[in-house]
């Protein structure tokens, strides 16, 4: 078992804080020991970052030179794809098929923002006065904090690091307590790719201590956060006090909607994937299923059959669909939601507890679970469970459907299953959510903006304009034929 250093201000060192462990959720074995960052490490990392982004060695780089560093990092990630995927599976228990996808996504994100950096252009507004040229340029913000959750490390970290560096900033990464390994590997990769010292620090530690100290630091000029809505709200307060921008990627309670004309098999497969992949530990998990009453029984039947075929088990083994939840405490939380649903009058169709297989007894596994008989007002339909728990609700007409789908504090995503695309597009338009999938679910493109409505977030990640979320505009007025200013009277 390895002892890991953390990466502070361009230096690998033992963190000054408490001991932390990375454990394999499938059996509780220890992957690595490390020491968290201390408040002193935070201070050093941020002051080095503030010097590093201002230094000519970074500020003086032309866009294609910055892009080259990101492109090299992408190549290094691609070369180590399998090893990184395995490491991530050890760190958070997601099946290898999924972690391979996350690693590939991180490389693609770095390449995409390398390109966005090269093609980013300022503006040359049209002349409103003779002999006056106005220009507007995009400049970096300075030191950016990237605070990330445990469910998709490397991908969520790169979604923040790549646009922030491409835009010319320095970045302080605070990975989730449970999953420090991939963020530290990313630091090594960027170091190898030639990123100047001090531009990237990775500071593992407790969110309430280290995350909060980073967010409050006066030199940190942007908070880019993915995680729970409560923490996001807390960070938004900190940002409001400092008057700095945020990008907040928060929770969800997304709906899958099956209209009467849906392709039943396509819908059943998409719904099962949408909620049970990643064991439901995804902000976009399709956790509420609204089904037209005419399809309710056959769809319930098909979802049950498909779910029985899912293989739970060691996420390192091929063919496994569902690994363990991140830890036992989280599993207890998921299970308590099932108990709550039953207390609220729900019926359990399958799952609802850990698997019985002795081989899985050490891991924090939880079976795919289907509930029905609840209203959209039930707490399990309103609160994010972040586990493999699906609630099925029938509907009769679309006005009622719309009211219920939109009756949520969240507004992250939705899926619509229908063979009438025009109609599905019209329905999509009326949903208060940031992403709608039609006849598919949980597929992503780095070129397409992602983010939430309502309490699911603020700002958008992905898409070529998202580099501008890490920049500020500076406008210049240039007199082409200077003469003394006149009073307006």
Q: 205 vs 199, 208, 342, CA distance in Å? A: 19, 9, 37
- Kindly state the smallest distance separating residue 344's Cβ from ligand ADP, in Å: 23
| End-to-end CA separation in angstroms for the chain | 78
Closest CA to 39 of 203, 285, 256: 203
Selected catalytic residue, list 177, 372, 384, 461: 461
- Kindly state the smallest distance separating residue 46's Cβ from ligand ADP, in Å: 14
Task: Tell me the C-alpha distance between 199 and 49, whole Å.
Answer: 5
- Kindly state the smallest distance separating residue 174's Cβ from ligand ADP, in Å: 5
Q: What is the CA radius of gyration of the chain?
A: 24
Query: Quick one: 148 or 246, whose CB is closer to ligand ADP?
Result: 148
- Residue 249 falls in the annotated catalytic set: yes
Residues 156-159: contacts with CB within 8 Å, 24+ apart? Answer: 156/226, 156/249, 157/106, 157/182, 157/183, 157/186, 158/105, 158/106, 158/109, 158/110, 158/186, 159/109, 159/226, 159/461, 159/462
* Interface residues toward ligand ADP, by CB under 6 A: 147-149, 174, 176-177, 207-208, 211-212, 215, 227-228, 231, 234-235
363 φ, ψ to 5°?
A: -95, 165
Helical ranges in 314-439 per DSSP H: 328-343, 379-382, 398-406, 421-430
- Kindly state the smallest distance separating residue 354's Cβ from ligand ADP, in Å: 20
β-bridge partners, 205: none
Query: Quick one: 110 or 176, whose CB is closer to ligand ADP?
Result: 176
Closest CA to 195 of 111, 47, 76, 73: 73
Selected catalytic residue, list 249, 372, 381, 462: 249
Query: Quick one: 209 or 438, whose CB is closer to ligand ADP?
Result: 209
- Kindly state the smallest distance separating residue 213's Cβ from ligand ADP, in Å: 8
Selected catalytic residue, list 160, 222, 253, 462: 160
- Residue 383 falls in the annotated catalytic set: no
Query: Quick one: 149 or 270, whose CB is closer to ligand ADP?
Result: 149
- Residue 381 falls in the annotated catalytic set: no
Which two structure tokens, joined as six digits, stand for 108? 């693609």
Sign of the CA dihedral with 38 first, then 43, 48, and 53 last: positive
- Kindly state the smallest distance separating residue 201's Cβ from ligand ADP, in Å: 15
Query: Quick one: 207 or 346, whose CB is closer to ligand ADP?
Result: 207
471 φ, ψ to 5°?
A: -140, 165
- Residue 160 falls in the annotated catalytic set: yes
DSSP state letter for 312: B
* Owner of token pair 């530690």: 205
- The residue whose Cβ lies closest to ligand ADP is 207
Query: Quick one: 231 or 404, whose CB is closer to ligand ADP?
Result: 231
- Kindly state the smallest distance separating residue 144's Cβ from ligand ADP, in Å: 14
Task: Tell me the C-alpha distance between 463 and 314, whole Å.
Answer: 35
Count CB neighbours of 403 within 10 A.
Answer: 11
Query: Quick one: 73 or 176, whose CB is closer to ligand ADP?
Result: 176
The total number of residues shown for the chain amounts to: 489
Query: Quick one: 41 or 177, whose CB is closer to ligand ADP?
Result: 177
- Kindly state the smallest distance separating residue 229's Cβ from ligand ADP, in Å: 8
Task: Tell me the C-alpha distance between 108 and 155, whole Å.
Answer: 10
Closest CA to 30 of 327, 317, 261, 368: 327
Selected catalytic residue, list 177, 283, 384, 442: 283
- Kindly state the smallest distance separating residue 234's Cβ from ligand ADP, in Å: 5
Query: Quick one: 92 or 435, whose CB is closer to ligand ADP?
Result: 92
Which two structure tokens, joined as six digits, stand for 111? 């390449």
* Owner of token pair 């302080």: 172
Count CB neighbours of 146 within 10 A.
Answer: 26
Active site residues: 160, 249, 283, 461
């Amino acid at each position: 078992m390895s002892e890991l250093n953390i990466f502070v201000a361009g230096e690998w060192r033992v963190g000054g804080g408490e001991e932390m462990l990375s454990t394999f959720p499938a059996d509780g074995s220890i992957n690595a020991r490390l020491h968290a960052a201390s408040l002193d490490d935070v201070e050093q990392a941020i002051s080095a970052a503030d010097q590093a982004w201002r230094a000519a060695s970074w500020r003086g780089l032309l866009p294609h030179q910055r892009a080259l560093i990101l492109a090299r990092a992408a190549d290094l990630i691609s070369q180590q794809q399998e090893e990184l995927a395995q490491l991530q599976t050890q760190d958070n228990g997601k099946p290898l098929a999924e972690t391979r996808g996350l690693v590939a996504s991180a490389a693609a994100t770095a390449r995409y923002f390398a390109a966005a950096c090269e093609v980013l252009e300022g503006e040359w507004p049209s002349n409103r006065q003779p002999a006056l040229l106005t220009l507007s340029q995009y400049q970096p913000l300075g030191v950016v904090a990237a605070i990330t959750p445990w469910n998709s490390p490397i991908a969520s970290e790169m979604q923040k690091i790549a646009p922030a560096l491409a835009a010319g900033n320095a970045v302080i990464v605070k990975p989730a307590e449970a999953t420090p390994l991939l963020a530290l590997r990313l630091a090594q990769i960027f170091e190898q790719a030639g990123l100047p010292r001090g531009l990237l620090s990775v500071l593992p530690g407790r969110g309430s201590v280290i995350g909060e100290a980073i967010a409050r630091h006066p030199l940190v000029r942007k908070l880019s956060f993915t995680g729970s809505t409560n923490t996001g709200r807390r960070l938004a307060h900190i940002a409001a006090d400092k008057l700095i921008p945020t990008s907040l990627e928060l929770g969800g309670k997304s709906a899958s909607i099956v209209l009467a004309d849906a392709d039943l098999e396509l819908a059943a497969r998409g719904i099962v994937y949408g909620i049970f992949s990643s064991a439901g530990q995804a902000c976009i998990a399709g956790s509420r299923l609204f089904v037209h009453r005419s399809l309710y029984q056959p769809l319930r039947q098909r979802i049950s059959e498909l779910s029985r075929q899912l293989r739970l088990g060691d996420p390192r083994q091929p063919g496994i669909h569902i690994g363990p939840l991140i830890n036992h405490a989280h599993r207890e939380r998921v299970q308590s939601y099932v108990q709550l649903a039953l207390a609220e009058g729900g019926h359990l169709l399958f799952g609802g507890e850990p698997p019985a297989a002795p081989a899985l007894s050490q891991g924090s596994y939880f079976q795919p679970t289907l509930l029905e008989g609840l209203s959209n007002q039930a707490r399990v339909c309103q609160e994010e469970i972040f586990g493999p728990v699906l609630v099925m609700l029938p509907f009769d007409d679309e006005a009622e459907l719309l009211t219920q789908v939109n009756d949520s504090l969240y507004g992250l995503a939705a899926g619509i299953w229908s063979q009438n695309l025009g109609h599905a597009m019209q329905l999509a338009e009326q949903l208060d959510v940031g992403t709608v999938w039609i006849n598919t679910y949980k597929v992503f493109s780095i070129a397409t903006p992602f983010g939430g409505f309502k309490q699911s977030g603020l700002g958008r990640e992905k898409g070529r304009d998202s580099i501008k979320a890490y920049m500020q505009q500076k406008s210049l007025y240039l007199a082409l034929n200077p003469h003394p200013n006149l009073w307006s009277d």
